[in-house]
Amino acid sequence: MAEVKLIVRNPSGLHARPAATFVRAAAGLPAAVRVTNLTRDPDRTSAANSLLGILALGVARGHEILISAEGDQAEAAVEALRALVESGLGEDLGPPEPG
């Protein structure tokens, strides 16, 4: 199993457009990937290839998420999704939050 914790910096969190970008990327990976919103509900996870599941996690700007993967190329899957989230999922992240 591979995993990474990240802070979401998108201005509106993982709303429809960046969530859809994330889900499309996850759907193309051979590993089984799951996402957890550690800030809101660390006991609830969603399959990374489920748009409704990702939206239901309620990830807002500044929330910490956990991306975990099992199976073929789990490390590569986590790394690809980490880079995508850190790049803003196609959105301008604006200035970093203070603190």
Active site residues: 15
- 6 forms beta bridges with 65
CB neighbours of residue 89 within 10 Å:
20
Q: Which two tokens stand for residue 54?
A: 């990702």
For 12-39, give the secondary structure using H, E and C.
CCCCHHHHHHHHHHHHCCCCEEEEEECC
Q: How many residues does the chain have?
A: 99
Q: How far apart are CA 23 and CA 13, in angstroms?
A: 14
